[in-house]
Structure 1
Amino acid sequence: MRARRAVAGLAVAALLGGLAACGDDDGKKTAAGGSGGDDGIGCAAAKGKTVGFSEPLPDPNFQALEKILTKSLGKYGAKLRPVNANLNPGKQISDIQTLLQQRVDVLIANPVDPNATQGAFAQARQKKIPIIVLDTKVGGPYYTSVHDDVEYAAAEGARQLKTLAAGGKVAAIYGPSFAELLNWEKAAFDAAAKEAGLDVVDRQVNQKITPDAAKGIAEAWRQKYGAQLKGIWTFNDVSAIGAASAIGGDFKPAIVSINGQPDAIPLVQAGKISMTFGVPYDKTGQAMAYAALRALCGAKVPAEITVPTVKIDKAGAGSWQPIAQRVDNPFKVAFEQRAGKTYVKLD
């Protein structure tokens, strides 16, 4: 609804008994410590099993995640059963209950309202169905949680704006508070902005999540601050695109965003958006598939799996792959430890 950092990594395989593994696109796998038909990702027990996937909304990213999960699970003979809540918590609860009635073997869910889904999750636990959640810290226990590192992107975005704005005034466009992920992002930006000494003169919410709404916010800032506003943080690329359309004359704030959407990349290349932070969603999908397969094999995984975000500036925009181009990337999963977190390693 999510810059490589220097790593001083210890592989999770060394810490967790050989969980890190990788498989190539032809279905040949290598593993650290797999045995008895278990290659460190999947095993013979996965064949014929079903993984339910409760999505929060219809979105191209989730369609791509479906394809990645289907392909990755299919290597081991497992299948995916997706359902979509259309941003309706009641429908999501009903969807999950239907998946349980259909006797899925593992449940993956990205909750619309994580508090509302706790009852349905309790029903899954009663049936001893492992639960994998995406981007929520509410409730539990879960088999594991997969988490896109938007906090890093937001904090690094604040630090980048400190340099780009050269000490001038900055402003921020946040997302609606109903989205848990966006609240993490906002909190991380606010904390890093304070630490960096950013002069944040205004904060607004793009409640409609549209380019036009973001443009209206930026145009109001143009009237109020003019050339004094040197930077804008936006919670997603939709807002960055809208804010960029308000630039003109002596109103030229640096814009820093998050998402890595295909329609934002040309604006990064043109310098209208200074940078955005992309989530390599192929790794999000593969991390969920990895966790589901390990659950089917009765193995343990880290309690939380974090997917890094990647800084995309003018120099690197040409090499960024949008999610549509990542669907057929090889299924490779390995981990490293950073600051106490387990991160998926990027290729």
Structure 2
Amino acid sequence: MSASRNLSGALCAAALAFAATQARAADYVVGLSVATLANPFFQGMTKGVQRGIAAHPDLRLINTSANGDANTQTNQVTDLINQHVSALILNPINANAIVPVVREANKKGIPVFTLDRGAACGTCQVNFLETNNTALGKQGADFIADHLKQRYGTIKGNVVDLEGLLGTTAGDEREKGFSDEFEALQKTNPGLKLVARQAADFDAGKAFTITTQLLAAHHDIDAIFNGNDDNAVGAVRAIRQADRFEPIGNPKHIIIISIDGTEQALSDIRKGRMDATLSQNPLTMAEQSVNYVEMYLHGEKSKVPAHQYWPHLLITKATIDSPAAKAYGLWGDQVTQ
């Protein structure tokens, strides 16, 4: 056989191999719908899904964001269903509003995986992967109680609760965890007072406005629990603008704890403006969701849990550079890199 024929055969084999690879790359299309990209947490989640998809050559991603509007999300998911995607990864804006399109996907045989926030229909989701939001809220209440005890020798003080976006599983469960634990603490600590509870909707601008108003009405706030880091960022800005900021350790310092682990929260912790965040890791959580999609599509349904809690970690100025924090992953720093 001549050299030219050998080369021709080799090129043909290479072309066939390339074509086979391209076919595999289009085997499965995954539709993603996140609540919004205005929030750094969901930017991290989207990046995590993209990294997960890149690790599986047989998956291709169609990426959408609902910009915080439940109707937009319904329309986007309906469009993904009509494109006959192989699977859906959803981050619902509202647990109830998303149910009809989830059930429509079920009818079409499209498996639905919910990420960080779930749908209010139980088994309509193949997998619901989230952080234990009730535990996050409880831990936030305990953190405040511990620091008030350090300050006063007993658990007492005036506390504000800046709720997250109610109607989402994350917002509702964090609020339940905080409220239940706070009320339990009040039973044995009558000096512990909740002076205000308002929904800031995971929005820094709303949190700033609400906190500004509360600071004007209450001159003795000891601590603020925040449903997420955006709430906390707004609260910190309001405290500083009202000239009420005192450093950590000062008896007049307003204790700030929140949830997520965004870059801005990490920055405020390093600067001593914020006490703590209960960090989730949307990068690794989202990658795991994609892994579950891959397992399911390849017939490994038994390996996919119906519900799973992803680990979280308390981050303070004392622990932000610890080996544990580095091992867990400071995703807020990673997303901005």
TM over 0.5: yes
The change in CA–CA distance for 1:209 and 1:90 in structure 2 (over 3 A counts) is closer
Displacement of 1:90 after TM fit?
Answer: 2.3
Gaps of 5+ in 1: 1-43, 329-347
- 2:147 counterpart letter in structure 1: L
Answer yes or no: is the 8 Å Cα contact 1:106–1:130 preserved in 2.
Answer: yes
- 2:174 counterpart letter in structure 1: E
Return the alpha-carbon distance in structure 2 between the equivalents of residues 112 and 156 of structure 1. Answer: 24
Residue 98 (structure 1) aligns with: 79
- 2:92 counterpart letter in structure 1: P
Residue 330 (structure 2) aligns with: 321
Higher relative contact order (CA 8 A, sep 6+): 1
Return the alpha-carbon distance in structure 2 between the equivalents of residues 124 and 261 of structure 1. Answer: 32
Q: 2:156 aligns with which of 165, 168, 172?
A: 168
- 1:168 counterpart letter in structure 2: K
Secondary structure at 2:272 match in 1: coil
Pair 1:185 & 2:174 matched: yes
Q: 1:240 aligns with which of 224, 232, 235?
A: 232
Q: 1:83 aligns with which of 47, 57, 64?
A: 64
Return the alpha-carbon distance in structure 1 between the equivalents of residues 226 and 271 of structure 2. Answer: 18
Displacement of 1:195 after TM fit?
Answer: 2.2
The change in CA–CA distance for 1:165 and 1:223 in structure 2 (over 3 A counts) is farther
Q: TM-score w.r.t. structure 2 length?
A: 0.75
Answer yes or no: is the 8 Å Cα contact 2:48–2:282 preserved in 1.
Answer: no
- 2:82 counterpart letter in structure 1: Q
Answer yes or no: is the 8 Å Cα contact 2:35–2:93 preserved in 1.
Answer: yes
Q: 2:29 aligns with which of 40, 46, 50?
A: 50
Secondary structure at 2:222 match in 1: strand
Answer yes or no: is the 8 Å Cα contact 1:287–1:305 preserved in 2.
Answer: no
The change in CA–CA distance for 1:232 and 1:118 in structure 2 (over 3 A counts) is closer
The change in CA–CA distance for 1:151 and 1:208 in structure 2 (over 3 A counts) is closer
Pair 1:231 & 2:223 matched: yes
- 1:67 counterpart letter in structure 2: K
Pair 1:153 & 2:136 matched: yes
Residue 118 (structure 2) aligns with: 136
Q: 1:127 aligns with which of 97, 108, 113?
A: 108
Displacement of 1:57 after TM fit?
Answer: 1.7
Residue 13 (structure 1) aligns with: none
User: CA-to-partner distance for each residue in 1:261-281, whole Å, 9 max, x for gaps?
Assistant: 211223212332111111111
The change in CA–CA distance for 1:52 and 1:208 in structure 2 (over 3 A counts) is closer
Return the alpha-carbon distance in structure 2 between the equivalents of residues 119 and 208 of structure 1. Answer: 24
Secondary structure at 2:263 match in 1: coil
Return the alpha-carbon distance in structure 1 between the equivalents of residues 215 and 127 of structure 2. Answer: 45
Counterparts of 1:215-226 in structure 2, within 5 Å, are 215-226=208-219
Secondary structure at 1:263 match in 2: helix
Return the alpha-carbon distance in structure 2 between the equivalents of residues 112 and 75 of structure 1. Answer: 27
Pair 1:312 & 2:301 matched: no
Counterparts of 1:238-317 in structure 2, within 5 Å, are 238-245=230-237, 246=239, 247-248=244-245, 251-299=252-300, 300=302, 301-317=304-320
Secondary structure at 2:67 match in 1: coil
Residue 32 (structure 1) aligns with: none
Counterparts of 1:200-219 in structure 2, within 5 Å, are 200-207=193-200, 209-211=202-204, 213-219=206-212
Answer yes or no: is the 8 Å Cα contact 1:256–1:273 preserved in 2.
Answer: yes
Return the alpha-carbon distance in structure 1 between the equivalents of residues 51 and 253 of structure 2. Answer: 44
The change in CA–CA distance for 1:123 and 1:137 in structure 2 (over 3 A counts) is closer
Secondary structure at 2:110 match in 1: coil
Q: 1:61 aligns with which of 24, 37, 41?
A: 41
Return the alpha-carbon distance in structure 1 between the equivalents of residues 183 and 140 of structure 2. Answer: 13
Q: TM-score w.r.t. structure 1 length?
A: 0.73
Answer yes or no: is the 8 Å Cα contact 2:114–2:128 preserved in 1.
Answer: yes
- 2:45 counterpart letter in structure 1: L
The structure that is helix-richer by fraction is 2
- 2:298 counterpart letter in structure 1: C
Return the alpha-carbon distance in structure 2 between the equivalents of residues 202 and 120 of structure 1. Answer: 40
Answer yes or no: is the 8 Å Cα contact 1:261–1:322 preserved in 2.
Answer: yes
The change in CA–CA distance for 1:104 and 1:155 in structure 2 (over 3 A counts) is same
Q: Which has the larger radius of gyration?
A: 2
Displacement of 1:58 after TM fit?
Answer: 2.5
The change in CA–CA distance for 1:267 and 1:50 in structure 2 (over 3 A counts) is same
Secondary structure at 1:273 match in 2: coil
* Sequence identity (%): 20
Displacement of 1:231 after TM fit?
Answer: 1.9
Gaps of 5+ in 2: 1-22, 150-154
Answer yes or no: is the 8 Å Cα contact 2:245–2:253 preserved in 1.
Answer: yes
- 1:192 counterpart letter in structure 2: E
User: CA-to-partner distance for each residue in 1:223-247, whole Å, 9 max, x for gaps?
Assistant: 55434x3222111222223333413
Return the alpha-carbon distance in structure 2 between the equivalents of residues 105 and 74 of structure 1. Answer: 16
Answer yes or no: is the 8 Å Cα contact 1:164–1:231 preserved in 2.
Answer: no
